[in-house]
Amino acid sequence: MAESEEEVDVLVQRVVKDIANAFKKNPSIDEIGVIPCPEARYNRSPIVLVENKLGVESWCVKFLLPYVHNKLLLYRQRKHWLDREALVDITCTLLLLNPDFTTAWNVRKELLQCGVLNPEKDLYLGKLALTKFPKSPETWIHRRWVLQQVLNQVSTLDHNKNQQQAEAVQADAERNEQLSDRLARTLRQEMKVCSDAAGRYPSNYNAWSHRIWVLQHMARGNVKVLHDELSSMRVWVSMHVSDHSGFHYRQFLLKELIAEICKRPAHTSTSCSPQRGCSTVPEGSPCPHSRSHSNGEPSGQEAGGEEDSHADFTTVLQLFHQEMDLCSDLIQSFPGHETLWSHRRHVFYLWDQWVREHQHSCSRGSDCKLIHLTDPDPGVPEISSQSCAGQGHGVNGQKHASEPMEVDGLFLPDPHNSKRLKRGVLLPCPPTLPTELSFVSSVLGGCCNTEQRHFALAYRKWLDTVIGLQS
C-alpha cells in the first residue's frame, strides 16, 4: 500500500494532533505503549486512549517517526519553520516514540528556557516515556537538566529573598515553606519515577544512578530522607533479590548516612540557615522553624559531645546490624542469589573500614574501647552482660557465635559508664570476622543449593584473603 507523500503528510498531522488532544482530554495519562496492529483496518485514528493509557497502533509508527523526525531536523537546519505549538506537539510525539532522540529534547530545552514550556511538562513527558523505555539514557539526562533548572530557580528566589530581609518576614517564611514543599514534592516524585522504572527493567542502572543524583542534589545531608529511603527500600529489595542496583543503592544510603552522622560534632539539629539557601529539602522542613520539628530524627539531639559521639556509634552500629540482619534474612530465604552475597560483602567491608577509621577517635572518650575486629588480643577485663543485645539468636533462630565471653573482637562500651547503663541501651553485636565465618558455616551446614554453597565458599575465601590480609 504505497502512500503518497501528501497522504502521509495528512496522516501524520492528524496523528500528532490526536496525541496532543489526548493529553488535553486526559491530563492524567500515566502510561504509553505501542499496540501491535500491522494494518490500518478502519479509517480511524491510530491513537487509542483508554482510561489513563495512551496507545499508538504500530502500523503508523513507520510513517510517523521518520516524518516527524525529518521535520524536526529541517527545522533545526532552518529549512523549515515550525511555530512553538507545533514544536511542542511534534517533540512530544517524537519523544514518546523514540525518547533517545537527543535533538528533540534539545528543542524542548530551548522552549523551556524561553518560557514556552514549564519544567513540569517535561518531567511529565519524561515520566511517560520511561513507562515504555525505562532505561532511556537521554530521558534521564534531560530530566536532570530540567531538575537543575528547577533548583537554580529556587535558589535564585531564595537569594532574592535574602536581599530584602528587612521586609515582611512572615511572607518570606510562607514562601519558603512553599518552596521547600515544592522541593519535597519534587523529590518524592523523582523517587517514584525511579522506583517505577526500576520495577520495569531489572537492575536498571540509569534509574538507580538518577535516584542517587537526585539525593545528592536535592537532599544533600538530609538524614531524615536517607533514613526514610533506607526503610522504604527494605520492602523493595526483599522483592527484587537479584537486583544488584537496588542493593547498591542501599550501600550508597548507608555510606551517606554514616558520613552525615559522624560529621556532626556536639550537635543540635542542623537547621536550615537562611544563608545556605533552600535548594535542598531541609532536614526538618519547613525552615527556619526546623528547630522545633525533629521529625523523628535519630539520636544526636542532646547537647554534650561525649554523649553524642557515643550515640553516633550506637546509631552506626545499629544501622550496620540492621543491614546485616536484612541480608542474612534474605540469604536464608532466597538461596543462591549472588547479589545478596555481594551486598553482604559490601556492608561488611564498609563496617570494617569504618571501624578502622574510628578506632582512635572512638577511644578518645573514656567511654568505649574498640578492639580491632580481627585482633586476637584479649585484654578485656570485665564485660557487662548487658552490653551485647541479641547475642543469642539471630534471624531464623540462627545463633550468633559472639557470646559474651568472645574476646576476639568486640565493640565494648565501658561498663562503668553509668549514664549509659541507666538508659539501658542495649547494643547489638557488631559484625566481626569470626561472626561472619560462622555465618558461612551455618549456611554451608544447612543448605543443599549448589549456587548457595558456591557463593558461601566464595564469601569465605574473600573474607580470608581480602579482609583477613588487611589486619
Partner 1 sequence: MSFEKKVEQSIQEVMSVYKQIHSLPQPTLLREQHYQYLKKGLRHLSDAYECLDASRPWLCFWILHSLELLQEPIPAAVASDVCQFLARCQSPTGGFAGGPGQHAHLAPTYAAVNALCIIGTDEAYNVIDREKLLDFLWSVKQPDGSFVMHVGGEVDVRSAYCAASVASLTNILTPKLFENTTNWILSCQNWEGGLSGVPGLEAHGGYTFCGTAALVILGKEHMLDLKALLRWVVSRQMRFEGGFQGRCNKLVDGCYSFWQAGLLPLLHRALYKEGESELSQQRWMFEQQALQEYILLCCQNPTGGLLDKPGKSRDFYHTCYCLSGLSIAQHFGNMDNHYEVILGKEENRLAPTHPVYNICPEKVAQALQHFLRMPVPEVSRQPGGSGEDRPSDAAAASSSADLQS
**Segment contacting partner 1 (CB under 8 A): 69-77, 176-184, 220-228, 411-419?**
69-77
Contacts of 22 (CB under 8 A, 6+ apart): 29, 47, 49, 54
> Binder to partner 1 among 77, 160, 163, 170 (CB under 8 A)?
77
**Closest CB to partner 1 among residues 253, 370:** 253
**Segment contacting partner 1 (CB under 8 A): 63-71, 228-236, 412-420, 428-436?**
63-71
- Residue 346 as a binder of partner 1 (CB under 8 A): the answer is yes
Torsion of CA 188, 194, 199, 200, to 10 degrees: 130
**Closest CB to partner 1 among residues 66, 304:** 66
Q: Is 347 exposed, middle or buried (0-12, 13-18, 19+ CB in 10 A)?
A: buried
- Residue 212 as a binder of partner 1 (CB under 8 A): the answer is yes
- Residue 69 as a binder of partner 1 (CB under 8 A): the answer is yes
Torsion of CA 409, 414, 416, 422, to 10 degrees: -110
In the chain the first and final C-alpha atoms are separated, in Å, by 75
**CA 466, 330, 219: angle at the middle one, nearest 5?**
80
* Cβ-contact 341, 455 below 8 angstroms: yes
* Side chain identity, residue 353: Q
The DSSP code for 467 is: I
> Binder to partner 1 among 23, 63, 75, 208 (CB under 8 A)?
208
* Cβ-contact 294, 269 below 8 angstroms: yes
Quickly count: other Cβ atoms within 10 Å of residue 178's Cβ: 12
**Closest CB to partner 1 among residues 37, 141:** 141
Using CB under 8 A, count the residues that bind partner 1: 32
**Segment contacting partner 1 (CB under 8 A): 30-38, 70-78, 155-163, 357-365?**
70-78
- Residue 338 as a binder of partner 1 (CB under 8 A): the answer is yes
Binding to partner 1, residues 90-109 (CB under 8 A): 98, 101-103
**Segment contacting partner 1 (CB under 8 A): 281-289, 317-325, 343-351, 405-413?**
343-351
325 phi and psi angles, rounded to 5 deg: -60, -50
**Segment contacting partner 1 (CB under 8 A): 114-122, 162-170, 199-207, 224-232?**
199-207
The DSSP-derived string for 329-388 is HHHHHSTT-HHHHHHHHHHHHHHHHHHHHHHHHHTTSTTEEE--TT----------TTS-
The DSSP code for 50 is: E
Q: Which of 132, 61, 71, 147 is nearest to 100 (CA)?
A: 132
Q: At its nearest, how many Å lie between partner 1 and the CB of residue 98?
A: 8
**Closest CB to partner 1 among residues 425, 447:** 447
SS3 84: helix
Binding to partner 1, residues 240-259 (CB under 8 A): 242-245, 248, 252
- Residue 202 as a binder of partner 1 (CB under 8 A): the answer is yes
Q: At its nearest, how many Å lie between partner 1 and the CB of residue 449?
A: 13
- Residue 306 as a binder of partner 1 (CB under 8 A): the answer is no
Q: At its nearest, how many Å lie between partner 1 and the CB of residue 139?
A: 13
Q: At its nearest, how many Å lie between partner 1 and the CB of residue 245?
A: 6
Q: At its nearest, how many Å lie between partner 1 and the CB of residue 324?
A: 16
Q: At its nearest, how many Å lie between partner 1 and the CB of residue 253?
A: 12
- Residue 144 as a binder of partner 1 (CB under 8 A): the answer is yes
**Closest CB to partner 1 among residues 371, 373:** 373
**Closest CB to partner 1 among residues 209, 318:** 209
Report which secondary-structure segment, H or E, holds 140.
Answer: helix 137-163
- Residue 76 as a binder of partner 1 (CB under 8 A): the answer is yes
**Segment contacting partner 1 (CB under 8 A): 270-278, 346-354, 399-407, 433-441?**
346-354
Contacts of 36 (CB under 8 A, 6+ apart): 58
Four-residue CA torsion sign, 149, 151, 152, 154 = positive
Binding to partner 1, residues 214-243 (CB under 8 A): 242-243
The DSSP code for 389 is: B
Four-residue CA torsion sign, 395, 401, 407, 409 = negative
- Residue 349 as a binder of partner 1 (CB under 8 A): the answer is yes
- Residue 73 as a binder of partner 1 (CB under 8 A): the answer is yes
Q: Are strands 47-50 and 368-370 parallel, antiparallel or unpaired?
A: unpaired
> Binder to partner 1 among 10, 51, 52, 70 (CB under 8 A)?
70
- Can you give the binding site for partner 1, defined by CB under 8 A? 65-66, 69-70, 73, 76-77, 98, 101-103, 141, 144, 202-203, 205, 208-209, 212, 242-245, 248, 252, 337-339, 342, 346, 349-350
